[in-house]
Structure 1
Amino acid sequence: MVSYAYRDAAAQTVSTKKVERPISPSDELTYPFGELGVDLTQSELRETAYEILVGACRSFNSGKTLKYVSSSVKSSSSSSSKAASKVKKALGLKKNLESVSGKKASTVGELMRVQMGISEQTDSRVRRAFLRVAAGQLGRRLESMVLPLEFLQQFKISDFPNPQEYEVWQRRNLKLLEAGLVLHPCLPLDETDTRPKQLQQIIRGALVKPMETTKHSESMLELRNLSTSLACRSFDGSSPEICHWADGTPLNLRLYQILLEACFDVNDKISVIEEVDEVLEIIKKTWVILGIDQMFHNICFSWVLFHRYVACSQVQNELLFAADNLLSDVAKDSKAVKHLTCSQTLSSLLGLIVGWAEKRLLVYHDSFYRDNIDSMQSLLSMSLSATEILVEHSSGNYQKRSKEVDVAFSRVDSYIRASMLRTFSQEKERLISSRKSSKQQHNPLPILSILAQNVSDLAFNEKEIYSAVLKRWHPLATGVAVATLHACYGNELKKFVSGISELTPDAVQVLIAADKLEKDLVQMAVMDAADSEDGGKSLMTEMTPYEAEAVIANLVKSWISTRVDRLKEWVTRNLQQEVCLLLCCWIVLMSGVMDHHH
C-alpha cells in the first residue's frame, strides 16, 4: 500500500465532463420475448409481416387490391403539415421540422411497402396471391384461413424468377407453419396429440426436398388437413371463427415488432414519421390475426422505442420519453392483466429494461454529465416505472407493499451510494497513480490533503448537476451523496491516523484538510435535510465524526508529554553528570589536602 506520507505532484481538479462513448457490442440488448426456434431471417419475417398486413387491409368481398388511402393522405400537404400527430403528441414526440423521406407515397399501403423495404416485385406477387385466394375463398376473411397454407397452394415455380427463389419461399412458409402451429401455438398442445409430430415430419421432409403443392397432391392434402385441424382448435372444443397460426408468442410479437418499426423514417433511424397515426391505424388491422390487444401493443411498442434509443447511440431522448409514456399506460392496465402469456411477456420486457438501465444508473457518474443530464432523467423515469410495475406483479398486495417500501426512493438511494462509492475509488486511484508517475518531483501536499479537496469538489459537483434530477425521487439526494463521501474518506483517514504516532507537518496538513472537508459535507447534509421530517438526524447518524481536532489535540499532548519526558531525562542525566563531576573534584581536592599534611 502506498503511504499517504508521500506528497502528490500537484492537486488536480475533478473532471466533470466525460467523453460520450459509442455503444459497444456488449451493450446490445437481447430480444426479450423469446426465440422462434426456426431458421427464419429478418427479411423473411419482414415479408411475412407485410403479407399479413396486406391481407388484413384488403376486402375479400370486393375483390379489390389494397389501396387504403388515409384521410390525412388525401388532404393537401399544407393542411396535413399543420395537423399535429395525435400519437406523437400523446407520446411526447416532436414534429419533424424537415421531411427526409423524399417523395411522398400516394397511399398508406405504398408508404408501408417503402417503410418495410419490400420490393415492387414482391409486393406485386403478394397482391396476386390474395387475388387468387379471394377467387377461391369467396366470403371468407383472412383470420379464418391459414395464410402460409393458402399461399403454398396458389404459387408454382413458374411464378418466380428461378426455381431457387421458389424453394426459399416455400421453405419460409413451411417454417412459419412449424413455428405457429407446433413450436409456439396460441392454444397449448395435448401431449397425447400426434398431429404436431406428424406435421413436423412432413415439414422437415419438405425442407430437404421441395414438396408438390398442387391442389390434389397427396402431400399437400395431408399438410392442409393437419395444419387446419391444429389451427382451428378452441378451448371449449367448438369450431372457432379464427384460425390460430400466427398468434402464438413470440412469433406474433416478432412479426408485430417488424410492423411497428415501419413507424421510423427509413432515412433517419431515430425519427418517427409524420404519418405515424395512419400507419398505426392500418397496423392495428392485424391484431385479430396476430392475437394482439392494446396491452400487447403498448408492451411491444415500448420495446421498439427503447431498442431504437439504445441502437442509435442513446442520443434521442424523446424516444426514451415516449417509451416511458407507454409504460405509464402499461402500469395502469397491468393490475388487470390475468393472461399468463401477457404477464410473462411484460415481466420479460421490464426485466430487460431495468437490467440495462441499472448498469448505467449504478455508475451514473461514468454514464452522464452536465451536457446529457436529460438522458439520465429520462432513463431514471423509465427504469423506475418498470421497476414499480415488476414489484406490483411480484407482490400479492401492491397497495400495501407500496406503502411499506417506496420503490423509487429505495432504488435511487442505492444508485447514489453505489455511484458515489465508485467515483471516490476512481479519484483515489487516480491520485495514487499520479503519485507513482511523479516520484522524483517535489510534492508540497500529502495525498490525503489533495483527496479531501477533490472530495469536496465532487460533493459540490453532485449537488449542482445530479441531485437536481435525483431529488424528484429522493428528497435527500445530496445528503445521501455527501454522507457516502464522508464515510469513504473517513475510512481512508482512519487508516492514516492509525499509522501515525507523533505530530508531523504532513499529519497536521491532512487533519486540517479532513476537518475542513467534514465541515463542508456536514453543512451540505444539514441544508439538504432542513425540510425533512427528522431534520436530517438519520443522515447525521451515518456521518461518524472524524474528530480531527481531537486527534490533533491528542497528538499535541503526546508530543508535549514526549518532550517533557525527554527534558526530565536530560535534566536527570545532566544532574547525575554534575554530581559525578563535583564528586570527582572533591576527591581530587581531598587527595591534595592529605598529601600536603604528610
Structure 2
Amino acid sequence: MSKKKVESLVLPMELLRHLKPSDFSDANEYRAWQLRQLNVLEAGLVSHPSVPLADRGNNNPAAATLREAIRSTATTATLDVRALSAAVMALSWRSVDVCRWADGYPLNLHLYLSLLRAVFDGRDVLDELLELIKKTWGVLGLNRTIHDVCFTWLLFEKHVVVTGQQVQVDEPSDLLSAALAMLQQLRGQLPLPLHDNDDLLPEPAFLIRRVLAATLTSMHSWAEEKLLDYHEAFQSSSSSSFSSMEKVVSLAVSAAEMLRQYCSAADDFFIIIFFILVTTRCCW
C-alpha cells in the first residue's frame, strides 16, 4: 500500500466497513464496538477537528449525518455505512490537500499517548515498536518535539506508578533520571520566544505550548508535594534516599524554570526548594 493511500485512510471508517457482526461474540458486543468507532470519528471530525467547523458543525450536513449515525446506532442498532462513509470523507477532506481525521487537539494526543504506553514493557522500551509508532506523526499532526514531550510525560508517569504505592521514594529511579534527561533535551528544541497569546501561535507551536504546559505543571505539582512533605517522602538517611531527593529537586527546578521560560505559569518555588535541600543535608 502506498504512503499516500495509507495517509488517506480514516481508520475507524475502514474498520466499520470491513468488520462484520460475525467477527464478534454477540450483537451487543458488535454494537458497543460500532459506537466506540463512531465516537472516535465524532471526536476527530466534529468535536476537536484541526480545521474547525463553522458553528461547531451545527449547520454542516456531513456533521449532522455523522451525529445521526451515532444516534441511530445507539437507539436502533442500525448503521447506514454508505451514508456515513460519504459524510466522513466530506469532513476529513475539507482541507482538500490532506486527509484530516485525527490531528486535532486533544484527540491526537490521547491516541498517541495510548500508542506510546504500549511501548513500555516493564521498565524497558521496545525500540522496534517505538519506530513503528513514530510513523503515525503525519496522521496525528505531531512532530519530534511533541513526541519528546509526550515521551517525557510517560517516563514520569511510569515512575509515579512504580513508586505510587509507597509513601517513601527513597530509591532513586532510572525512569525519573530518564525524564530529567528528556527535559534537558527538550530545552534545545523548543521554539523561542513563545507568544503570550496562544491564538497567535502557528501550528505546531500552539500544540507544543499546550502539551508542555500540562506536562510541566503536573511534574512540578508532584515534586512540590514530595518536597513539602519531605520528612515522610525521604525518611531514610541513606545515600540512595538523598540521591532520590536530589532528582526530585532537579525535577521541580527544571519544571519551574521551563514553565517560566516557555509557558509563563510557574510559582516562585526556588526558595522553598533551596531551604529544604540545605536544611536536610545539614541534618544528615
Q: Same fold by TM (over 0.5)? A: yes
Write out per-residue CA displacement over residues 69-109 of structure 1, whole angstroms, 9 at most, x where no aligned residue: xxxxxxxxxxxxxxxxxxxxxxxxxxxxxxxxxxxxxxxxx
**SS of equivalent to 1:203:** helix
Deviation, structure 1 residue 192: 7.0
Contact 2:65/2:83 (8 A) holds in 1? no
Query: Which residue does 2:161 correspond to in 1?
Result: 311
1:375 maps onto 2:259 in alignment: no
Query: Which residue does 2:198 correspond to in 1?
Result: none
TM-score normalised by L of structure 1? 0.41
Amino acid at match of 2:282: K
Amino acid at match of 1:156: K
Query: Which residue does 2:28 correspond to in 1?
Result: 164
The CA distance in 1 between the partners of 2:56 and 2:148, in whole Å, is: 36
1:286-325 aligned at under 5 Å gives the runs: 286-313=136-163, 314=169, 315=171, 317-325=173-181
1:278 maps onto 2:128 in alignment: yes
Change (3 A) 1:306 1:143: same
**SS of equivalent to 2:189:** helix
Contact 2:223/2:252 (8 A) holds in 1? yes
Amino acid at match of 1:299: V
Query: Which residue does 1:240 correspond to in 2?
Result: 97
Runs of 4+ off more than 3 Å = none
1:331 maps onto 2:208 in alignment: no
Contact 2:48/2:106 (8 A) holds in 1? yes
Does 1 or 2 have the higher relative contact order (CA < 8 Å, sep 6+)? 1
The CA distance in 2 between the partners of 1:279 and 1:155, in whole Å, is: 25
Change (3 A) 1:148 1:370: same
1:149-548 aligned at under 5 Å gives the runs: 149-191=13-55, 193=57, 194-195=59-60, 196-212=63-79, 219-234=80-95, 239-241=96-98, 243-265=99-121, 269=122, 271-273=123-125, 276-313=126-163, 314=169, 315=171, 317-336=173-192, 338=201, 339-368=205-234, 369-371=236-238, 372-394=241-263, 411-417=269-275, 462-463=281-282, 465=284
The CA distance in 2 between the partners of 1:362 and 1:168, in whole Å, is: 46
Deviation, structure 1 residue 141: 1.7
Contact 1:252/1:290 (8 A) holds in 2? yes
**SS of equivalent to 1:191:** helix
**SS of equivalent to 1:187:** coil
Query: Which residue does 1:104 correspond to in 2?
Result: none
The CA distance in 2 between the partners of 1:462 and 1:381, in whole Å, is: 15
Structure 2, unaligned runs of 5 or more: 164-168, 195-200
Greater CA deviation, 326-335 or 297-306?
Answer: 326-335
RMSD: 2.6
| Corresponding residue pairs, total | 261
Deviation, structure 1 residue 164: 2.5
TM-score normalised by L of structure 2? 0.82
Deviation, structure 1 residue 316: 5.7
| Aligned residues with identical type, % of pairs | 35
Change (3 A) 1:159 1:394: closer
The CA distance in 1 between the partners of 2:30 and 2:83, in whole Å, is: 21
